Chain A
Amino acid sequence: MNSNSKETNLWKKFLEMNGSGVLIALISFIILVSIISPHITGGKYLTWTNIIQVFRQQTYIGIIACGMTFVIISGNIDLSVGSQLTLLTVLCANFSHYGNLAAIFGTLTLGLVLGFFNGLFVSGLKLNPFIVTLGTGSIFGALAMILTSGFTKRADSTLFNYIGTGSVLGFIPMPVLIMLCVVLIFAFILKRTVFGQRIYAIGANPKAARYSGIRSRAFVAITYILSGFCCALAAITLIARSTSANPAVAGGKEMDVILSVVLGGTSILGGKGSIWGTVIGFLFIGFMSNGFTFLNFNQYMQWVVMGIILVIALAIDVYKQKGRV
């Protein structure tokens, strides 16, 4: 190993960190917007309320992304989360008419069930995760339509109002608090527990994992169940906030989720990644769409710019991975 000076070492460490490339892109984007926006819309971008707002808007993406991180690290993918979220919000809205507990527990259980189905197909029957979850996705989505026949369901419950609009210490909104809890717990599981460590192993080399006595299939199934659970949790916060659910709710949200995870430096090949990176990922997306409002961009501008920024951010991450296996 050749010796280098302290700060370059620090710099190296920073680059080694998952999603640091995106972090760079994010920071520069924020700076750019906060400089430009006053001249365009006169809006102050970098304010506490705005930051909190981004967190709150990304709550449900964030929660799902945490689950997705597990799935992707274990070398699989779940394209059905969008439809799961839709189905679960719709169901949650229905349940809410039978009382809070029914709503919350009903939704969570069903989340687990949906996840279980994916897990069954992927690790039980060893089917290709990408395609299977594509399939289950369209099934769940269709179910949401069929069950509701498209009708917007409305949830009414005081507890929900509290979850949706309440806040802790007066400045941390309830949904954000829930998300933070999920983030911390999942980060802990991933980094510090046997389960987490073995998820990495499975993603890196399933065969070797099996030869080391890891019950890979069970573990993979569990990651999907976790993902389903997260969707349920997200559905609850979503309902709590908007008190209404229609089957159009979460069309295409899975893309946002996957982008968040991958932007965070989690390898789509599995075996590498972190929750911390995922947090950067979904904040990045949140700050972007929020920033576009500050720049008074219209939809097509947003899409073009978003696409370009994404490519750049991802390219940076690839570039700094060069030379490492």
Chain B
Amino acid sequence: DSSKKNTAADSGPEKEKAYTIGYCTMGYSIAPWVLFLGDNLKAECEKRGWKFNMLSAEGDSELQAEQIQTMISKKPDLILIFAGDASLCVDWVKDIDAAGIHSVLVGMDVKEEGRKYATAFVGPDQEQMTYNVASEIIKEYGPDAGLTIAQIGGVPQQYDYIVRVKGFNEACKNTNYTLIEPEWAHSNRADAQGKMENLLATYGDKIDILMGYDDDLTLGAVAAIEEAGLTGKIKVYSITGMVEALHAIEEGRMVMTVQNSTAEIARVCGNVMDKILSGESVEYNNPSELFYITKENVADYKGEF
């Protein structure tokens, strides 16, 4: 119920009020994608002449919890959250709601029990995203192709990676694929390359598919595959949609990436915020479009970074 909350309606008639937006991100600089999300949101707010306050927890959920409290005590008109952990986020939105402030979840939704406290969610379902990628693979090769799939992720305990892995593995449940334990490159492309080398040394060309959970790292792995001369033999799927990745797809070094466009998320988020602050009611779910980019349609897209 967003009626009781302070909106433009009860905070004065003037339309061009300069609102303050608080943004609590799990980490501004832990990965390029997160960074661009932040920058684009900022751009959206400044475009509307709003004040944009950011607090970044650099991957530490404990710290993010503190920062949420700090943000509340600052009493902004609306709080955007890119949550480091969907279940802890339940408490956060609860507290924000109690303080009579709107909360909008960006990029990462809160657990069900939290949804009644939050005003809206903007962004893709990350779990769904990787689920779909897996479905694509299954569609391509069939569920009993006995594929061997290697996975490379960023930081093992980071929530967005956790859900991505979860989604992918869900989809592969009822197939006879063998999934190798994910390797973690700790947001370091060189490490990703090393990990991939290890995988190749271990399984050689037994690996049919590489699932990368972040283009930046995937590209490291791709380099390793190239060096091993297995380009094309090992089909590479990935997400986020970096410029480099799109090139790689054009050149056939990768098969698919999902552009989870931060600009798109920010755009949708902007509209949602407009509505909320001008007192209109909004849908809870505001999906941002995902673009599944392959050789066929790669020409139509340009990466963000």
Contacts and interface: CB of A to CB of B under 8 A. Distances in A.
Given A148-B29, A150-B35, A42 B203 contact: yes
Chain B interface helix/strand/loop/mixed: helix
A164 to B, nearest CB: 9
A260 B195 CA distance: 19
Given A47-B201, A50-B201, A151-B35, A297 B181 contact: yes
B121 interface: no
A246 B216 contact: yes
Given A290-B201, A293-B199, A293-B202, A165 B227 contact: yes
Interface string B170-205: 000000000011111011111011110111011110
B181 A298 contact: yes
A43 B201 contact: yes
Q: In the complex, which range does the number of interface residues on chain A fall in?
A: 35 or more
A248 B190 contact: no
B202 A250 contact: no
A56 B193 CA distance: 11
Contacts, number: 94
A247 B29 contact: yes
A57 B195 CA distance: 9
A293 B183 contact: yes
A249 B227 CA distance: 22
A149 B192 CA distance: 22
Contacts of A289: 198
A293 B28 CA distance: 31
A145 interface: yes
A244 B216 contact: yes
Interface string B156-172: 10000000000000000
Nearest to B187: A248
A53 B204 CA distance: 14
A56 B201 CA distance: 13
Interface string B192-234: 1111011101111010000000001001100100010000000
User: 9 closest A-B pairs (Cβ-Cβ)?
Assistant: A150-B29, A43-B202, A242-B190, A248-B187, A293-B198, A242-B189, A57-B194, A50-B201, A298-B181
